[in-house]
Each structure stands twice: as structure tokens, then as C-alpha cells.
Amino acid sequence: MKKEKIYQYIMLLLTIIIVWSFKAEQNPYPQGYFRSPVGYDMKLSGTFGELRPNHFHAGIDIKPLKGVGDNIYAIADGYVSRVKALPNSYGNVVYINHPNGYTSVYAHLFRYNDTIARYVKKKQYEQQQFRVDLYPEAGELAFKKGDLIGYMGTSGRSFGTHLHFEIRNTKTEVAINPLLFGLKINDNVKPRITQLKVYSLNPELQTLDEERFDVKKGKFGYYVGGDTLKVGAWRVGLALKAFDFMNNVSNWNGIYSMDMLVDDSLTYSFKMDEISFEETRYINAHCDYKERLERRSYFNRCYKMPGNQLSIYEHMANNGVITLEKSRAKKIKFIVKDTYNNTSSLQFFIRRKKVDVPDQQAVYNYILPYNEQNILYTGDFQADFPSGSFYETQYLNYMVSVEQSEGSYSPTYHLGDRMTPIHKYFDIGIVPTNLPPHLKSKAVIAACPEGMKNQCLSNHRWEGDMLMAKAREFGNYTIMLDTLAPTIKVAKISSTMGKGYRMRFVIEDDFSGIKSYRGEVDGRWILMEYDEKNKLLVHKFDGRIPKGKHEFVLSVEDFCSNVKTYKKSFSN
């Protein structure tokens, strides 16, 4: 009897160990350690891993309860390891390191709490810069779980009030899906599948043809009209457009996971558990880049391009490519989930019909292997692509328009197709023609996309007679001049400005962009907060300026050293 009880205890213990091991394997992140960063039920306007222009969304976007100024709280004990004030990107952002090896990030804050705000302003005056990236000493700014750290806002590149919230691995800085830590969202709504794309592929997995199909919702899941798709190709890749929804929220958010089964065998799958910032731009290999540019439409590509190095894929058989047969249709099933396991599925069949050979081959004059450095040099033009710049081998069409358009100081160089993504910055160089020597410092390389405004490239420098810059897109390039200074428009100012008054200016530069600005009162630097998206400069009088008569000077400089200055006498 004792042996039987011992056996039962052993079996129970083994069962518990197996169950807990399985749970740990399924979700290795601590549960119940973190609280919500807001004081109300979270509703999301953006999910982790959501497809965005040139990057995966690295956190969740939490909607406001009232609007600008909602309290933001520390999710656990910890200390501020980093704090930034930026005119773009994350805006006012706080990073808190926690003892369990994770870092929480709170971005787009309207303002910090008083302690952090005093620390940041002190450093801004010391550095005479609004833009600061600060690393306080460990424990210098310590917080307990639930302490107020700031207020929700729209600072940086935010176009609506929300908190962008992240949890990162402190050592690696890899972003992790916050919803995997047990943060609760009211969500029993299944994802929605909207469209399917089928790509006819050659042996190098390059697209020969593509077709888009609308997806419909039926009683037992989603389906494609006609049940069986017939494609004139030996091999195909698929892409799926799908969105996540939540209770009482109208936002079309990103999905958590997708599986693709071919004849009931798992062929492709991904999960949005973690995203490294070093690999986030590979989104342009994961999604259909042309669809994103032309239609602002995001498809999850369900086969792997040769140069795609994303780590989100859990399973990939034959790179996700499906070989078609004429005699037998293959069953395809997609399973799409959100983080809370709400699931939708799409099922259809696909088979090969007659394969037509294209009448015309693509026109190109350069072949650029995706896994090599590629240098195009003609004497008057240069493009130097580092290894890993492309997701697939490029069959490049390069042309030169010798005639110069008005305002150009070189021919226009037509380099590839703008609809093709490039992963890394590359050096581009052009030798000018008829450029007056005294205007050499005003010369820039401009991208000239058809039907769009010319765009100035960055990081200009001269190497002998060739003007160099950094580019990250194919397109049309020429040399132009920027001789115009930025503009300063007064939004609010007075001859009498005392404590609490906010003077405001709109600053713009229509070409090379604003490089720097400086506000001074009686020759001494003053803090002017810059909101890049609204082109707005603001100074709040905080009592630092003594009473009396004063002279205010604002100078704004662009990247071609053109300077605009504004002056105003005032008293306080």
C-alpha cells in the first residue's frame, strides 16, 4: 500500500513538473510581476509587431481615457536608466530598469513627472540643447511600482494621443510583446482576414506575375470565391492581409501569429513574440513593399525572400514556396491568431493551369547579387551598395538623361525601380556640370520621384570632383542647389513676456532641412522645445530671465549653412 501511494505521489509530482515545464515553454515570461502603465482598462490602437513603414511596431499603443494628461505609472519597482527629449521619434520618453532583467519604455509623453522634468531641464541647460539622450546613475531616479512617472501625450512623431509602451530585455534591448507578461485586455474578437495574393515565381523566387483575391467570411471560416484557384505557374508564393480587433475598439491592429498548412502539413509560421531593432527593417522583405507604397496596404508575405534574415519565423519548409501540380490541387489552410488565442482560418485549393512563357523579358543592364557588395561606377556617377542591401538579386535598369532640367547641375541618373526596397544605406556620387565654384557649398544630391516633391539626401561630402551623399531608395537623382534660408513665422510673441508666458514660432526649410536652431536672450542660451511634426518652437518663461528689458534672438540654420535670424526686444 505504501509503495502504491509513493508511486501515486511520484506520478503526481511528474505531472506537475511536466505541466509547469509546458507552461514555461509556452510562455517563458513572468506573469503577475508587472502592473498596467495606466489606471484604467487598457484599449489598444496598436499591437506589438504590427506592420509599419520600414519597421515592426516595437510595443503596444494604449488609448487615452480622457485625453492628453492621463497619468502614466511605473509598472514595477525600478530606476530610470535612460530618458530622452526628442523633437521626433519617441518624443519625451522614459526607460525604467527592473530587478527581474526587463526594461519598460514609456514614449510620447506630454511631460515627465516633476522629478524627471527637473533633471532633464538641468541637463538641457548644461548641454544647451533641447534634444538630449541621458543616462542617470543607477538609483538616482528610483520609482516604486505604481508611482507616477509622467503624463500621456503626443510628443515626438505621434499624431494622436496615446502611450507607446514597450518591455525590453535589459541586456539585449530586444523588444518583447508586452501582452505576454499577463497584462489584461478585454478581447474575445477574432482576427479578420481580408485579402490574399498569389505570386508566380521563377526558380530564383523572383516574381513573374501576381494576382490579388478578395477573401470572404463564411459560416465555418474564411474562403476564396470559387474554392479552387488556378495559376499559370510551376511554383507560387502566397501573402495574406489580416487584422486584429478588440472589444469596443475600432482600430485595425496587427495580428500575433500566422500558420500556413499545405495539404495539412505546416509549411510556414511566424509569431510576434520578440523583435530586435537591428532586424526590424527586414519588414520590407516580410511584407509586399510595392503594395505598401502604392496602396498603403500591408500583406504578410508567406514565403521567404533570399535576403530576409528575420527571426520571427518558427517554421519554414522549402522557404514557404509551393510547387503546383496540374493533376492534383493542393489544400491550403491559413490559421491567424491574436495574443489571446482568438483564431480565424482561411481554406482553399490551388492547382496549376497552363504555364504561359512571357513574350518579353525584363530590361536591365546590371546584375547585383543580393549577398555581395555591388559597385556601379561610370566616371560621372557612382553607387556603392554594401553586401546585404537587397532581399533578392537585382536585375537593374540604369539610364542617364543628359539634358538638364531647370535648377539641375548634372544629368539625371535613373537608378532602378523605386518600388524595390533597399535594406541598407548606400553611397551615391555625382560629378556636377556647370556648377559655379562659389556655390559648391550649396550643392546637394536630390531624389526626384515622378509626381512628387524633390527630396534632399543626407550626409553630403565632396570627394575630389564628386559630390557624395547617402541614399536608401532606387530612383532618379541629380545635383541641385539650396540657397534659400529657412523661414521663421511668429505664432505668438509680445513686447511684455513674464513667467508662464509661452512664445511660439513655426520654423520651416523646404529642401535640405533644418540642421540646428538657437534661441538667446541677451546673448545667453534659452531652452526652446521643438515639435518637428508641427514645425513648432516654444519657449516657456520659467523665471530664469531677470526682470528688465531684453533682446531675444532666434537663429535657424539648414544643412547648406543658410541662416535665418529673428530679433525682438521685450520686457518682463
Q: Mean pLDDT throughout 255-264?
A: 98
Same-domain status, 385 and 450: yes
pLDDT of 26 reads 66
* Structural domain total, the chain: 5
Q: Please give the pLDDT value at position 165.
A: 98
- Give residue-wise pLDDT tens across range 411-469: 999 999 999 999 999 999 999 999 999 999 999 999 999 888 999 999 999 999 999 99
Residues 246 and 335 in one domain: yes
The answer to whether position 453 is within a domain reads yes
Task: Give the range of the structural domain holding residue 403, as residue numbers without chain letter.
Answer: 366-481
Three-state DSSP class for residue 543: coil
Determine, yes or no, domain membership for 10. Answer: yes
* One domain for residues 328 and 250: yes
pLDDT for 480 beyond 90: yes
Say whether both 250 and 287 belong to one domain. Answer: yes
For the chain, give the mean pLDDT: 93
β-bridge mates for residue 331, sequence order: 349
User: Rounded distance, CA 62 to CA 42, Å?
Assistant: 6
pLDDT confidence tier of residue 3, bands split at 50, 70 and 90? low
Residue 11 pLDDT exceeds 90: no
Backbone angles phi and psi of 102, in degrees to 5: -120, 155
Whether residue 359 lies inside any domain: the answer is no
Neighbours of 155 (CB within 10 A): 23
Residues 49, 92: one domain? yes
Query: Collapsing DSSP states into helix, strand and coil, what is residue 9?
Result: helix
Among residues 440, 439, 416, which one has the least CA distance to residue 426?
416
Average pLDDT estimate for 171-178: 98
Same domain, 7 and 116: no
Residue with cell 530587478: 99
Q: Quick check: 109 pLDDT over 70?
A: yes
Give the C-alpha separation, 198 to 200, whole Å: 7
- pLDDT above 50 (res 481): yes
Nearest Cα neighbor of 274 from 23, 22, 29 is: 29
Domain CATH code at residue 566: 2.60.40.10
Question: What per-residue confidence (pLDDT) applies to 2?
Answer: 58
Confidence class for position 5, pLDDT limits 50, 70, 90: low
pLDDT at 22 over 60: no
445 and 371 co-located in one domain:
yes
Q: What is the rounded distance in angstroms from the CA atom of residue 389 to the CA atom of residue 192?
A: 34
Residue 467 counted as domain residue:
yes
Q: What DSSP string runs through 371-431?
A: TS-EEEE-SSEEEEEPTT--SS-EEE-EEEE-SPPTTBSSPEEEES-TTSEEEEEEEEEE-
Q: Which element (helix H / strand E) includes 69?
A: none
**Confidence grade of residue 237 (pLDDT, cut at 50, 70, 90):** very high
Distance (Å, rounded) from C-alpha 562 to C-alpha 556? Answer: 8
Side-chain-side CA neighbours of residue 518 (13 Å): 11
Reported as a single tens digit per residue, the pLDDT across 126-146 is: 999 999 999 999 989 999 999
